[in-house]
Amino acid sequence: MLTRIDHIGIACFDLDRTVEFYRATYGFEVFHSEVNEEQGVREAMLKINETSDGGASYLQLLEPTREDSAVGKWLAKNGEGVHHIAFGTADVDGDAADIRDKGVRVLYDQPRIGSMGSRITFLHPKDCHGVLTELVTSAPVESPEH
Ligand code: V0V
Ligand code: CO
């Protein structure tokens, strides 16, 4: 079951300048940043709010690490802007299978690694009324070491 908006993915040319815009304009701070080589992105997660399912909602600012990546190609065609929306679920495998059974193209056979150790997959935008849609299961919260 999809229980939150996990994040909105925003493509940008210059991550540092875009992070600074969100900080200076709205006061949002970077919660986490990383490079995901498989996806070809350098990204910053800005936490907006926590959610009743124990998760949170973020803005995900994305700068391509190479021109032929999904975000690189999209930026060259469209310029900066909203790139995808991501729904959070406790069961990305089960929800992706259910959605595939409804005839929507799920882009990966198995979920891949996303931000902060999450497991992610994508639905084809042409099957979702023009919206690239991601499904996310967050990594389990690690218990503190003794
Ligand atoms: C492409 N299209 C889009 C779109 N990207 N429509 C809406 N939103 C987007 N973001 C449209 C495009 O305009 C074309 O329509 C058509 O789909 C085919 O696009 P294309 O430019 O020929 O590109 P493709 O087919 O090579 O790739 C499109 C897909 C690709 C969606 C298959 O971008 C993909 O695999 N995306 C999933 C991975 C991803 O986006 N990773 C970056 C975020 P017309 O012109 O033919 O009508 S990584 C992330 O979110 C992480 C790590 C995380 O959350 O943790
Ligand atoms: Co994303």
Q: Is 125 in the pocket of ligand 1 (CB under 6 A)?
A: yes
- Nearest one of 12, 73, 6, 79 to 46, comparing CA atoms: 6
Q: Is 60 in the pocket of ligand 1 (CB under 6 A)?
A: yes
Closest approach atom of ligand 1 to CA 62: 43
CA–centroid distance, 25 to ligand 1, in Å, is 28
CA–centroid distance, 146 to ligand 2, in Å, is 33
% of the chain beyond a pLDDT of 70? 99
In a domain? residue 141: no
In a domain? residue 8: yes
Per residue in 51-93, pLDDT tens?
999 999 999 999 999 999 999 999 999 999 999 999 999 999 9
Structurally, how many domains does the chain consist of? Answer: 1
Beta strand 133-137 with 119-123: parallel, antiparallel or unpaired? antiparallel
CB 99 within 8 A of CB 121: no
Question: Is 90 exceeded by the pLDDT of residue 143?
Answer: no
Give the other-Cβ count within 10 Å of 104's Cβ: 15
Question: pTM of the full predicted structure?
Answer: 0.97
* Containing structural domain, residue 95: 2-129
What CATH number has the domain bearing residue 42? 3.10.180.10
Strand partners for 3:
none
In a domain? residue 140: no
Strands, E, within 12-95: which ranges?
Answer: 30-36, 41-50, 56-64, 81-89
Predicted local distance difference test score (pLDDT) of residue 89: 98
Tell me if residue 83 falls in helix, strand or coil: strand
Predicted local distance difference test score (pLDDT) of residue 144: 74
In a domain? residue 142: no
